[in-house]
Amino acid sequence: METTTTEQELFIKMVMTEWDKQNNNFNRLLSSLTDAQLSKEIAPGKNTGVYLVGHLVAVSDGMLPLLDFGERLFPQLENIFIKNPDKAGLQKPSVAKLKENLEAVNTNSLNIFKRPNLWNGSKDIRPYQKKILQKNRIETS
């Protein structure tokens, strides 16, 4: 079944609207929590809210090079929030700084996702697909 341009545009708009909605919901929740609340474990023996926010920023930021959309904005967060556990004793950025980083990563991602040629099959955007397929050892033609 072939999808028409109008259907594709509608689907893309729906996905982007939902992505933006979920980001807004998370930002609203994040702004309602104090630094002290985020510093606590989410459950006994589990990660702190600060670690979870930092992990979200680091993982979202890490999607950029994976998809061939550019370099990480905050590569220093990978060691703190991806390669090491919460209780590793590493110095973490402040909650305010993590919120700024999250906003920057989301804004950058949104700007990339709004590129007019990103979703229309242009060859200049497709290298990330080949890179992912090659990494997973899937044949490409």
pLDDT of residue 113: 82
**Domain-embedded: residue 92:** yes
Neighbouring residues of 52: CB distance < 8 A, sequence distance ≥ 6: 42
Tell me the per-residue pLDDT of 6-46, one tens digit each, with 9 for 90 and over. 787 788 889 889 989 999 999 999 999 999 999 999 999 99
18, amino acid identity = E
**Domain-embedded: residue 67:** yes
* Domains: count for the chain: 1
**Domain-embedded: residue 32:** no
**Domain-embedded: residue 58:** yes
- The answer, as to whether pTM is greater than 0.85, is no
**Domain-embedded: residue 13:** no
**Domain-embedded: residue 4:** no
* CA–CA gap between residue 64 and residue 123 (Å, rounded): 18
> Which CATH number is 135's domain given?
1.20.120.450
Tell me the per-residue pLDDT of 86-120, one tens digit each, with 9 for 90 and over. 999 999 999 999 999 999 999 999 888 887 677 66
**Domain-embedded: residue 23:** no
SS3 per residue for 103-140: HHHHHHHHHHHCCCCCCCCCCCCCHHHHHHHHHCCCCC
Neighbouring residues of 39: CB distance < 8 A, sequence distance ≥ 6: 48, 49, 50
Domain hosting 78: range is 41-141
**Domain-embedded: residue 133:** yes
